Structure 1
């Protein structure tokens, strides 16, 4: 089995080494690189023949911190999946990291079992949000968002809140996958969200789906 390749970007050497040891103890993963800050990581990315499957990015680092690194990655490496790591749960920082494309946000004292689950979820689905982070995102969604949604858009949102793939949603709505992609991108722009989980949280907040 080909292992999922992970890069760690963290300026604390002992933490980075301990994290590498933990990750390498999981049968599905292998650490393929360690960097001390965002600047060194971005330089390293340019020299890579093959991008990592997942990046663990510390938020607070010298030279270039996690927020600025995420901004650069959003511009040049949009498909790269990044899981933010931090010792604090500051709401503004969480929002900045997620809005710039981070696939999730974990505190560094997260239990190893949840940590492994987060790695798997981000690799498989593209995101992993703890209850804490989900709560922050829900609170930040504009309760007064008056976006006018058509019935077919509402139907798409409800289906997107299930475990169906986008292709399965297209079949259910009797549409082509390309048309469904259009629905998704238009809704992301209209509702000012970035990911499918953001769409789910919007649907929950505005009672489009019941939980």
Structure 2
């Protein structure tokens, strides 16, 4: 079954070029192109819900941050790949907190776009070197004055957390830890609660900030 993709970007020329490029990829079908977050929501309300959304940060009426927040609350099943001309650490970290699965600069090569689509489709996320470096710079332990208390994790939870910060799938992690996939799902949900996050990227982000793991 093909993976459906939608684009939300007010730059019509770029959006159309991306749409045409993605239509050439085997295994992907373009669903629609929206000019902003409000138009995107109108498609979603008509039950046109993509598997992956390429989301521009700077849009009129409803920008990428507002749109990502709406999707996190109302359509968490949509995997969001952020698109931006900007590479500021705080913007990257903010989008990751809002549940995006990857962050691409608009100047990236088509090969990286294809890689990001494949990784997000198969694994649920794409950790590029760019994304990892930006998160580490933005979230160095102890820099925030309002940091919540560091949760107590047992040895098995810490092992799972370290493995989850790699590119392993949850099934592969289950094999390494000699546990059933359902047990691994339990570890994930417990850590989501302890770290107060809703996604794997958010979990790793918080773990880095709290110095629970190192990359």
Equivalent of residue 186 in structure 1, options 175, 184, 190: 190
* Residue number in structure 2 paired with 1:156: 160
Shift of 1:15: 0.9
Shift of 1:194: 4.4
The 5-angstrom pairing of residues 1-211 of structure 1 reads 2-48=1-47, 51-141=49-139, 143-144=141-142, 146-161=150-165, 165-167=169-171, 169-170=173-174, 173=177, 175-199=179-203, 202=207, 206=211, 208=213
TM normalised by structure 1 equals 0.84
8 Å contact kept, 1:105–1:133: yes
CA RMSD between the two structures: 2.7
8 Å contact kept, 1:138–1:205: no
The 2-side partners of 1:130 and 1:108 are apart by 14
Q: 1:130 to 1:181 in 2, by over 3 A?
A: same
8 Å contact kept, 2:119–2:126: yes
8 Å contact kept, 2:103–2:131: yes
Would you say how many aligned residue pairs link Structure 1 and Structure 2? 208
Q: 1:171 to 1:12 in 2, by over 3 A?
A: closer
Runs of 4+ residues over 6 Å off in structure 1 = none
* Structure 1 unaligned spans of 5+: none
Shift of 1:83: 0.6
